Amino acid sequence: MQIAVIGTGYVGLVVGACLAETGNQVVCADIDADKIGMLRENRIPIFEPGLQDLVERNQAQQRLHFTVDVAAAIAGCEVVFIAVGTPPDGNGAADLRRVLEVAETIGQHLTREIVIVTKSTVPVGTALKVQAVVERWARHPFHMCSNPEFLKEGAAVDDFLKPDRVVLGVESDHARSVMTELYSPFVRTGRPIIFMSIASAEMTKYAANAMLATRISFMNEIANLCERVGADIDLVRKGIGSDSRIGPSFLFPGPGYGGSCFPKDVKALIRTARDYDATLGVLEAVECANERQKSRLFEKLRSALGGSVQGTHIAIWGLAFKPNTDDMREAPSVALIEALVGAGATATAHDPAALEAARHLLGDVVRYAESSYDALDGADALVIVTDWNEYRHPDFGRMKTALRQPVVIDSRNLYRPEKMKSLGFIYDSIGRGPAAEPVRAELVSR
């Protein structure tokens, strides 16, 4: 099939490369000329396991092409995916300007009967808006399809090639049959393609992300309560996660959710509810709990350092909003760094993949270390923000020697508190110690 993917970010690039992998002719178009230049040279602008091979192979076999000419990408194609960004506007709603801009280009340049797929996460009613824009220009029949994407950054290629399910909002037989054919290689093991109305497909994406964000905020609040009552969140998590009605995923407490999706999608769904005079009280509470959680790391650190971080130097392990990605959008590390700098501390950060993205976003507000141990040199404390695998079994002796004082604040519960205590660390994590006995370091004078 001839396919165009408009917007070559995390989603568009993965979608384009995976569809080329199954033999389709795919053109990925983006207005970012630097990005397209890099991709043409097989340089991948994002860190995503498995993507490099896919892009290289399919480009070499001339099934995958990159262009800045969006109009040319659309001409001749049978299916066009809109995968541009939908960041929040000033009111928390999804900003649809890019989507509607692309819709206009599609309307002006389609040259045959086409299926227009909204892959970007967009509020209910967006496909209708796209349809109205395209209709103004189109001289050929077209069919709308809402096909929300559920891939996880860090496992995006695998998720696309082996999806749990494919959701397709279609309202014509043509769209249904074209999309079934396109996705059939990815659901051979029996994973379902779930057909539904376009509005239901649009809502499914938001409901999925809202549910996941809810689980995270719920567990963070339970973890905070565990600290007060002397319970251990890790045991509570196992205790509830083994209930088949609950399941074990998305029950880990942490520094609050971040990334390019949960924060903006939660906001956008709350906004949609308000627009329709409905209440999403649960989700509003989820968002508030997440905001509170983002400041907990800083509070724990301040308490461990005797009530002030002024004049201290802090090591940070992990900047990306989660492991296996370099995505810094809404990362909890950013909130921590802002709080530290605002309170008169300095910081050196390490991340296995996100240093470049962090430099781009934060500039020289912090120093950057090429190795995790380099970041510790002369620091008054270590804060672990992202649970990269390489932080799980560190050389604790080396850590202790490098730190000026052995204070570790661990937002991912990577280590056992008893072990850290026996090794002589002042250690705090999330939901595993009574707040009544705050750990505290006697600040070594600098």
| DSSP states along 319-347 | -SSSTT----TT-HHHHHHHHHHHTT-EE
Return the sign of the alpha-carbon dihedral for residues 224, 226, 230, 236. negative
Per CB under 6 A, the segment of 3-11, 248-256, 379-387, 396-404 that binds ligand NAD is 3-11
Which residue is at the shortest CB distance from ligand NAD?
9
Per CB under 6 A, the segment of 78-86, 127-135, 222-230, 370-378 that binds ligand NAD is 78-86
Question: Which residue among 1, 22, 25, 32 contacts ligand NAD (CB under 6 A)?
Answer: 32
Q: Where are the alpha helices (DSSP H) in 305-416?
A: 332-342, 355-362, 372-376, 396-402
- Establish if 85 lies at the interface with ligand NAD (CB under 6 A): yes
Report the Cα 107 to chain-centroid distance in Å.
31
Question: Which residue among 2, 56, 88, 98 contacts ligand NAD (CB under 6 A)?
Answer: 98
Residue of 96, 131, 138 lying closest to 113 (CA atoms): 138
Question: For ligand NAD, which is the closer residue by CB, 155 or 423?
Answer: 155
Q: Which residue in 145, 226, 261, 288 is the catalytic one?
A: 261
Residue 108 host element (H or E): helix 97-109
The side-by-side arrangement of strands in the sheet containing 381-384 is: 367-368, 346-350, 313-317, 381-384, 407-410, 426-428
Per CB under 6 A, the segment of 2-10, 124-132, 335-343, 438-446 that binds ligand NAD is 2-10
- The CA-based angle 51-364-307, given to 5 degrees, is 110
Residue 308 in tokens:
């002030």
Catalytic status, residue 261: yes
- Establish if 417 lies at the interface with ligand NAD (CB under 6 A): no
Question: Which residue among 120, 204, 214, 372 contacts ligand NAD (CB under 6 A)?
Answer: 120
Cβ of 325: how many Cβ atoms within 10 Å? 26
Residue 38 in tokens:
């890099």
Determine the size of the site formed for ligand NAD (CB under 6 A). Answer: 27
Amino acid identity at 47 = F
Per CB under 6 A, the segment of 7-15, 166-174, 331-339, 363-371 that binds ligand NAD is 7-15
Per CB under 6 A, the segment of 19-27, 149-157, 300-308, 348-356 that binds ligand NAD is 149-157
CB of 55 to ligand NAD, least distance (A): 14
Task: Give the footprint of ligand NAD on residues 38-57 (CB under 6 A).
Answer: none
Question: Which residue among 6, 93, 127, 382 contacts ligand NAD (CB under 6 A)?
Answer: 6
- Establish if 59 lies at the interface with ligand NAD (CB under 6 A): no
Per CB under 6 A, the segment of 50-58, 145-153, 242-250, 438-446 that binds ligand NAD is 145-153
Question: For ligand NAD, which is the closer residue by CB, 32 or 377?
Answer: 32
- CA–CA distance, 366 with 368 (Å, rounded to integer): 7
CA dist 252 → 213, 249, 294, 414 (Å): 12, 8, 15, 11
* Residues pairing with 428 in the sheet: 409
- Establish if 260 lies at the interface with ligand NAD (CB under 6 A): yes
Residue 101 host element (H or E): helix 97-109
Question: For ligand NAD, which is the closer residue by CB, 213 or 381?
Answer: 213
Question: For ligand NAD, which is the closer residue by CB, 147 or 312?
Answer: 147
Question: For ligand NAD, which is the closer residue by CB, 119 or 237?
Answer: 119
Residue of 315, 323, 444 lying closest to 371 (CA atoms): 315
Residue of 154, 294, 283 lying closest to 218 (CA atoms): 283
Question: For ligand NAD, which is the closer residue by CB, 54 or 316?
Answer: 54
Question: For ligand NAD, which is the closer residue by CB, 202 or 428?
Answer: 202
Question: Which residue among 5, 54, 79, 83 contacts ligand NAD (CB under 6 A)?
Answer: 83
Residue of 379, 382, 329 lying closest to 358 (CA atoms): 329
- CA–CA distance, 288 with 426 (Å, rounded to integer): 30
Amino acid identity at 395 = D
- Establish if 153 lies at the interface with ligand NAD (CB under 6 A): yes
Question: For ligand NAD, which is the closer residue by CB, 83 or 369?
Answer: 83
- CA–CA distance, 140 with 357 (Å, rounded to integer): 42
Residues acting as catalytic residues: 261
Residues that bind ligand NAD (CB under 6 A): 6-12, 29-32, 35, 70, 83-86, 98, 101-102, 120-121, 149, 151, 153, 260-261
